[in-house]
Structures are given as C-alpha cells and as structure tokens.
Structure 1
Amino acid sequence: MNIHHLRSATFIIETGNNFILIDPMLGKKGSLPAFSYVKFKAEKNPLVELTDNAAELLDKVTHCFITHSQTFNIRAFQHTDHLDRTGEKFLADKQIPVYTFSHDAPYLKNLGLNVQAGIEHWKEIQFLGGRLVAVPAKHGHGWISKFMANGCGFFLDLPNEPSIYISGDTVLTEDVKTAIFQFNPDITVVAAGEAQMDVGKPILMTESEVRKFIQLSPKHVIANHFEALNHCPVKRADIQNLVTEIGEKDRVYIPDDGQTLSFHLN
C-alpha cells in the first residue's frame, strides 16, 4: 500500500490498481476564503499549491472517501477544506464512486456526485473484497461541535494490505479510542493541525490529544492537516518535536506535500 500525501487532509491510498482519493480539496492556492480573521492572519486558503505530481496521481483515481462535507445542508457551510468546488467538479465530471457518512449522502448526490454508499456510524460495507467501516467523529471541543460538520472516520481493511484507520476531523473521543482498540489498525491517520475558528475551542485534537492518539495507536501513525489552512496553528515541526519527546519518531510519519509513504504487511 502506498499513501500519496497531496495537501492538508487530502491524500490518495494506492492499493493494487485502485487509487482511493480522500477528502479532495483540489483548488488553487488562495481559491477559498480565510477560515479565521481574528485569531490568525486572515490569509486566503489553501495557503499552498498542490505539488507537481498531483495531476498524474489524480488521473489514476478510481474511488473517493469523503469524511464530512456540510452542516445543516447549507451550501455556505460546506467544509471546503475537505471538498471544494474543484474537488466537486473533478468527482462529478469523472463520476468517481464516492463513499461517505450517511448524513452527507443526499447532499453530495444533489451536487451531482456518484455516491455509492452513505454509511451509518459503526456500520460495515464490503469494499474491494474487504470491508469499510464508518467511525463517529466529533468535530470540536464543547459547544462549537454542534455547529460543525460532524461526519465520520473510516476503517479500511483490504486483503493482503495493511489496515488503515482515517480518524477524520475529530477530537479524541471514546469512539476514536474504541476504533483503535477494536480494529487494531496497522496504520492510523490523525488530523493534527489543531484547527480553530475565531470563537470556541479547537475543532481538532490538541497536541496533548495527538500525543495520546499516537500512544494508543498500535503501529504506524500518519499525521496530516498541516500548513495549508490559515486556521491551523500547529506545524509539522511542532509534531516532530512532540514525537521525538515521547520517543515515537520511528513509527510516526509527517509527510511533506507530494510525498509518498509505502507500507507492507509484516
């Protein structure tokens, strides 16, 4: 299995002849508004362009997972850092099969996307000869989570490949811990940029929660959601310092944009 990190939370899982796109934010640098105007510098998003190898990889995409996309079915509240207009067009034009949380499925179908399955929390479906499970995600600490797009993470277990749990945009909850303990994934993926809106508490895991997530994860950990959005203050170097401090640098990966990671069953 190869993991091709594109930018922020957007990456591609390569397994055999299949290329599974996760949370496509595909627009050009500065094509989205700032997500914070008070706490952080009000820069348009994304802060960086996709790398040169992205187009070649995107041409190979066969499936797409979208962890979350919208709040209250309101277009203006779409989480464009996980599905932007360019990502929508890409999926709709190519009619890429899309798998998402059940709550988001009707909304995405209305955008013209080829939604194959809307999966309920903790439900399992067959996928590429293996299984795909939706795990609850809580997008924020405290009251702000009620106004966020609480979607899901995904656990993917394919024949002859390492299993992977993509936690999605979430804080560290009992559901996240249960997924790690129950599925014992070979790879976990954590959104570690500690995104914050101008009001309320962080909407992703804090550094202390990321530390605990890493310590709970049984094997390899990939940290992403860095340095591409103006409301994410935690940088790659911060997490690198954290994993060095806790002695976990040999199994935690913090990929650069455009980098490919390779994993094999032991």
Structure 2
Amino acid sequence: MEIPTTQSVKIQLIRNASLKITCGDKVFLVDPMLAKKGAYPGFEGTFRSHLRNPMIDLPMPVEDVMEGVDAVIVSHTHLDHWDEAAQELLRKDLPLFAQDEADAQIIRGQGFTDVRILGADVIFEGVHLTKTGGLHGTDSMFSVPQLAEILGKVMGIVFQAPGSKTVYVAGDTVWDKEVDETLAKFNPDVIILNTGDARLDGFSDPIIMSKDDTLHAHQAAPNATIIAVHMDAINHTALSRQELREYVQQKDIQDHVLIPDDGEILQF
C-alpha cells in the first residue's frame, strides 16, 4: 500500500554539489565545500586548471549553511565535496555518513567522532538512507591504474521517509548501469544530477554527467523532477547553468528540469 505524501521535502543548493536536504523533518548537509572564493589551486591535469577553486563565494554565511543540520553525508572525499574549510568548521560530534571504511577512517582522522558507513539499509531518526553505486569516469579512464586511484570510488544516496517524496542524489558519476538500476528500484520523485561536465586533460569524455544526461534522465524517469547542480563553481566543469538552460529549452524539457541558483530553495 502506497503511503500518501504528507510531508514536503526541501532541497537547497548551497554551491557546486553542496546541498541541504530536509526529509522527514531531518536536515542533511551533503558534500559540504565551505571555503571562500579562490582558497585552493585548480585541479592539476584538468580543464582550466589555472583557475582557483572555488570560483565563486558562498551565497550565504557559513553559519547559515550549518544551521539546523542533523547529519552530514560525504559521498567521497575529493576537495570539491569535502574540503578543509568544512573539516574545520563543522561540529566534530555531528553524525557523519561516509561511503566505506576507507573514507570513514580519513574523516575520523580529521577529528570527527560519530562517523558511520552508509549502506543498503540505514535508518537515521526515521529517514531511510540507501547508498547507491556510481562510476566517476569512463571504463577507459579506470583502465589506467594511477588515474583510477585518483578518481576513486563514489556513491549516490536515496532519501526516503514515510509520507515524503523519494529523492535520489546520483553523485559524481557518469550514467552507468547502476544509475539505471537505482531508477528502476526506487522510482524517485526527485533526481539530483551533478551535470557540470567535469573534464580531465587528454580525455574527450567527462568524469561526471553533462547536459545530455538531463534528457536521458527525463526519458528514463518521465514523472520525476530533475535538479541539475555542480556547475559554475569548480575549474574543471565545462558546462555552465546558462548553457544547460538553453539546452533544456531546445529539448523542450524545461518543465521537468530545474537548474537552481546558489542558495535557492526548492520544495516538493
């Protein structure tokens, strides 16, 4: 028996891939990157590596980002998803979910005292969290051992709570079979894609999703709302929000794809 939707889900894009997701009255901070503009050098060996990261400031004070957060989720420990500023500024006793024991050990080493592993069946104060798979690049990239180590493992997350819409955060992945499997299994109402078209030097394919994946997502899940993030903030992202807005207009999917500005709150 399907439970009717009685609680709204709130999603706020902070910047890049950093999100505040309110589900089942709990607030999750996902992939916090909290540094000031230009705090870090560009990623070596990537598109526009001469630019410093992040390329833009936070749209709000850090205190506002952290306000009300019940738990933190780190999909992987790359700088643009878990930076030194977040490590310094977040409370060390906040419940924090990592993708595996290797990442958990890194984060515990940064002083966090309540680090948990996200798995297939985790309940956090009434909210069901499910780890999903992904691939942070193409098979050809992962065939190069040194590059495979740099790209590393990643995860997505499905959020479910009684009476709330189901939210799927795909994470830093290209479109692969695990994305298809997640859509088929969970039939999410809201799909959040990292569509920045991030690129490495010497490769024609991106290491995360791009504009065509918004169309693919709509075709694969026509009843879902797609939210596109991870643009305009990091040197190696080749796709801008403006370019994506033009693309979704051309494809006539603008009623199904939302492209929020930094700080914007969406409610479902």
Query: In the alignment, is residue 194 of structure 1 matched against residue 197 of structure 2?
Result: yes
Equivalent position of 1:28 in the other structure: 36
Correspondence list, 1:12-51, <5 A: 12-15=20-23, 17-36=25-44, 39-40=47-48, 42-51=50-59
CA RMSD between the two structures: 1.8
Taking structure 2 as the reference length, the TM-score comes to 0.87
Equivalent position of 1:215 in the other structure: 219
Question: Residue 133 of structure 1: CA displacement?
Answer: 0.8
Q: Is the 8 A contact 1:186 1:220 kept in 2?
A: yes
Question: Residue 94 of structure 1: CA displacement?
Answer: 4.2
C-alpha distance in 2 between matches for 1:209 and 1:50 = 26
2:98 to 97, 100, 104: 100
Displacement over 4 Å in runs of 4+: none
| One-letter amino acid of the structure 1 residue matched with residue 172 of structure 2 | D
Which whole-Å deviations, capped at 9, do the CAs of 1:39-59 have from their partners, x for residues lacking one?
A: 426110000000126532412
Question: Residue 101 of structure 1: CA displacement?
Answer: 0.6
Query: In the alignment, is residue 229 of structure 1 matched against residue 227 of structure 2?
Result: no
Query: Could you say if the C-alpha distance between residues 233 and 40 of structure 1 is closer, same or farther in structure 2, counting changes exceeding 3 Å?
Result: same
Query: In the alignment, is residue 9 of structure 1 matched against residue 17 of structure 2?
Result: yes
Which whole-Å deviations, capped at 9, do the CAs of 1:178-235 have from their partners, x for residues lacking one?
A: 1011100111100000101224331112332332123213311110000001110101
Query: Could you say if the C-alpha distance between residues 233 and 124 of structure 1 is closer, same or farther in structure 2, counting changes exceeding 3 Å?
Result: same
Equivalent position of 2:145 in the other structure: none
Equivalent position of 1:244 in the other structure: 249
C-alpha distance in 2 between matches for 1:61 and 1:130 = 14
Q: Any gaps of 5 or more consecutive residues in structure 2?
A: 1-8, 143-147
Tell me, what secondary structure is at the counterpart of 2:123? strand
Tell me, what secondary structure is at the counterpart of 1:188? strand
Taking structure 1 as the reference length, the TM-score comes to 0.88
| Aligned residue-pair number | 251
Question: Residue 38 of structure 1: CA displacement?
Answer: 6.5
Q: Is the 8 A contact 1:187 1:220 kept in 2?
A: yes
State, as a whole percentage, how many aligned pairs show the same letter.
28
Query: Could you say if the C-alpha distance between residues 175 and 115 of structure 1 is closer, same or farther in structure 2, counting changes exceeding 3 Å?
Result: farther
C-alpha distance in 2 between matches for 1:255 and 1:53 = 18
Q: Any gaps of 5 or more consecutive residues in structure 1?
A: 70-78
